[in-house]
């Protein structure tokens, strides 16, 4: 019986890892499309999001089935619950990636602010790095790495405030870019939210390893 459980738990873990990789690629593609003004790439991304949503539903079904039929406890239980909760965060990150792609399409063809876009590219890079590091910490069940990685969210929050200020000032100087500015504001807000979800992932890694429910924000 234990062999069956181990096999199914392993499948669940693999599904989660696959979902993590897919969401990571979504973020990469979405931010890249925004920076490159690539409307076609953005549209592809929007169309592909259904796959992430389906992956999350499948993962939830696997996790719930394991809980009901195998009644796991201790480490097994913590693993399943943390995957279940973390998959919701991944799904939300995927949604945010899609929203960034939508802004790429909205802003295309309007007056733009290249200096602001350069800053957004930097922020996007930091968020991406953070997500990649967190997925690595998750693979190796490294709670210390997860906690350290979560610290980077402070920097993301600072960047958000700074860029926001810059957008407001730049918009005053170039009123024609007001449409682009609203998109920029939204995109940095989405990036900031993605950072928060990555912090949530860290909290579930800590729970999975130690059973401790922590608030790392």
Partner 1 sequence: MQTYQYDQTNICQPTLAPALATRELEVFYGDKQALFKGSLQFPKHRITALIGASGSGKSTFLRCLNRMNDRVATVKGRILYHDTDINQRQINVYQVRRQISMVFQRPNPFAKSIRENIAFALKQQGLHDRAQLAARVETSLKAAALWDEVKDELDQSALALSGGQQQRLCIARCLALAPDILLLDEPASALDPISTAKIEATLAALRHDYTIIIVTHNMQQASRIADYTAFFHLGHILEYSETEALFTRPQIKVTEDYISGNFG
The residues of the shown chain that bind partner 1, judged by CB under 8 A, are 1-2, 5, 71-78, 210-211
Least Å distance, CB 207 to partner 1, is 10
Least Å distance, CB 72 to partner 1, is 7
Report CA-CA distances (Å) from 194 to 20, 75, 139, 188, 190. Answer: 13, 28, 19, 10, 6
Least Å distance, CB 88 to partner 1, is 20
Which residues are CB-neighbours of 194 under 8 A, at least 6 positions away? 27, 93, 96, 97, 127, 131
Which residues are CB-neighbours of 34 under 8 A, at least 6 positions away? 42, 100, 101, 103, 104, 120, 124, 187
Least Å distance, CB 74 to partner 1, is 5
Rg (CA), the chain: 19
Identify which of residues 74 and 173 has a Cβ nearer to partner 1 in the complex.
74
Identify which of residues 4 and 51 has a Cβ nearer to partner 1 in the complex.
4
Identify which of residues 13 and 136 has a Cβ nearer to partner 1 in the complex.
13
Identify which of residues 4 and 21 has a Cβ nearer to partner 1 in the complex.
4
């Amino acid at each position: 019986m234990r062999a069956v459980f181990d096999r199914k738990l392993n499948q669940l873990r693999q599904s989660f890892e696959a979902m993590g990789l897919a969401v990571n690629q979504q973020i990469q593609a979405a931010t890249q499309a925004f920076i490159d003004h690539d409307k076609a790439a953005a549209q592809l991304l929007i169309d592909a999001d259904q796959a992430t949503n389906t992956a999350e539903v499948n993962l939830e079904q696997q996790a719930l089935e394991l809980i009901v039929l195998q009644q796991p406890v201790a480490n097994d239980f913590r693993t399943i619950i943390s995957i279940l909760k973390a998959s919701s965060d991944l799904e939300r990150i995927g949604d945010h990636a899609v929203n960034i792609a939508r802004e790429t399409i909205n802003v295309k063809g309007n007056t733009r602010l290249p200096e602001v876009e350069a800053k957004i590219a930097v922020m996007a890079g930091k968020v991406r790095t953070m997500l990649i590091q967190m997925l690595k910490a998750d693979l190796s069940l490294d709670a210390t790495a997860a906690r350290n990685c979560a610290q980077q969210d402070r920097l993301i929050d600072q960047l958000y405030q700074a860029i926001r200020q810059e957008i407001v000032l730049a918009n005053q100087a170039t009123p024609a870019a007001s449409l682009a500015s609203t998109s920029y504001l939204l995109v940095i807000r989405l990036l900031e939210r993605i950072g928060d979800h990555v912090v949530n992932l860290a909290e579930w890694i800590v729970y999975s390893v130690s059973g401790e429910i922590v608030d790392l924000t």
